[in-house]
Amino acid sequence: MIIPFFITHAGCPHQCVFCNQKNITGESRPPDPSSIHTSISTHLDTHKNNKAVQVAFYGGSFTALPLTVQMAYLEAVRPFIESGRVASIRLSTRPDAVTPDILAVLKRYSVAAIELGAQSMEDKVLVLSGRGHSASDTVNAVALLREYNFSTGLQLMPGLPGDTPEMFLETVSRVISLRPDFVRIYPALVIKETPLAELYRTGNYIPLSLDDAVLLCHKAVARFEQAGIEVIRIGLQPTAVLERPGTIIAGPWHPAFRQLVESARFLDAMSTLLRCGSTSGTVTFFVNPADLSSAIGQKRLNIHTIKERYGMDAKIVANPAVLRGSVRKHPSCNASEAGL
């Protein structure tokens, strides 16, 4: 279980064009360090299983906060670490706010995972997005995190100003070369009360369409998984504020964005199996029960697409003998099983 705290905009030295964390998370200000102890206790009182508990500081740039503020947050968690009720801490920050001195402090307080808001590995995109750091800052920060044995994550954002699908896939390749432990992918959205909203209003920014974002993330996820790098999230977490009418002005928003990406990947796998043999009548695919919804697709999209593309009626059936992320076809053809 993760106990999250959102330190909204705290420590951020720049206004990124895409960012309004109040409208994304619903949190208007960072929590006071004095409230952390009570909040953790409340969460732990409802924790009924034996899974490890981790406290997370999201949003803002934790390591860019004054050291006294960082220490106040970390000290608030320390008693729970010492008692064994909390296993570790994770936090997010900027690539240019990572130093050996700060990492040494974080180690003493049982910080285990650090996520860097890299967003892109293209300096042009970073400048146009108001990030205030360079791609080389990300490279250097990852090297430091590795040196200090932190679990390392990178957050990426396709569709930023100046970005192209080709440039984002090059970012993916450069990130793979850094060998992070995990990544998150958040397609850029036009959120109200951001500089990006003004760029969109004046016609100086065009966001990715939903279909294009799904396709691009599909390609990125395939590359990360092939490289053995876990993609722990795709798309922003839906919140009441984020889903309020008018908060998202434009861009590839969908509350189940990851499922759209996974559905596209299942469709590719099923298409591969259909291309390897004769196609007529009805085809039956078997998937793991946990994959059934994604394999069928939103509003049965994959079944409809197979009908339109191949002139076949498709059935997609749950079968626990099939591995997660795989598809089996019956009757068999030259290739009877495909992975995503």
Together in a domain, 86 and 132: yes
What number of other Cβ atoms are within 10 A of residue 335's Cβ?
A: 13
pLDDT for the residue 240: 82
Q: Please report, for residues 11, 63, 116, 251, 331, the alpha-carbon distance to residue 59 in angstroms, rounded to integers and kept in the order given.
A: 9, 11, 11, 21, 50
pLDDT surpassing 60 at residue 296 = yes
- Rounded to whole angstroms, what are the CA distances from 160 to 8, 71, 124, 174, 243? 21, 34, 10, 17, 21
Domain boundary among 203, 228, 255: 255
Indicate the SS3 state at residue 56. Answer: strand
| Residue owning tokens 């495909």 | 338
Q: Please give the radius of gyration of the chain, using alpha carbons only, rounded to the nearest integer.
A: 22
Q: Residue 119 — pLDDT band, cuts 50, 70, 90?
A: very high
**Same structural domain, 126 and 12:** yes
pLDDT of 15 over the 90 cut: no
CB atoms within 10 A of CB 292: 15
**One domain, residues 241 and 281:** no
Does the pLDDT value for residue 336 go beyond 60? Answer: no
Task: Please report, for the domain that includes residue 86, its CATH number.
Answer: 3.20.20.70
Confidence of residue 62 (pLDDT cuts 50, 70, 90): very high
When pLDDT is averaged across residues 111-133 and rounded to a whole number, the result is: 95
Average pLDDT over residues 267-288: 82
Together in a domain, 223 and 323 = no
Both tokens assigned to 215: 């396709």
Residues 110 and 155 placed together within one structural domain of the fold: yes
pLDDT of amino acid 27: 56
**Quick check: helix, strand or coil at residue 282?**
strand
Mean pLDDT of 266-273: 91
> Which is more confident, 315 or 336?
315
pLDDT value of position 337: 59
For residue 161, which phi and psi values (nearest 5 degrees)?
-55, 135
Q: What is the mean pLDDT of residues 184-189?
A: 97
Co-location of 250 and 267 in the same domain: no
Confirm if 58 and 7 have CB atoms less than 8 A apart: yes
SS3 state of residue 287: strand
Is the pLDDT assigned to residue 277 strictly greater than 70?
A: no
Do 220 and 115 lie in a common domain?
yes
Looking at the fold, whether 98 and 223 belong to one and the same domain comes out as yes
What are the tens digits of pLDDT across the range 29-59?
A: 778 888 998 899 888 888 777 788 999 999 8
Q: How many domains in the chain?
A: 2
Average pLDDT, integer, range 266-272: 91
Full domain range(s) for residue 194: 2-255
pLDDT tier for residue 22 given thresholds of 50, 70 and 90: low
Q: What is the DSSP string of 109-133?
A: TTEEEEEEEEE-S-HHHHHHTT---
pLDDT at 25 over 70: no
Flag whether pLDDT at 71 surpasses 90: yes
* 235 and 169 part of one domain: yes
Residue 318 one-letter amino acid: A
Do 74 and 212 sit in the same domain of this protein?
A: yes
Identify whether residues 144 and 181 lie together within a single domain. Answer: yes
Three-state secondary structure call for residue 10: coil
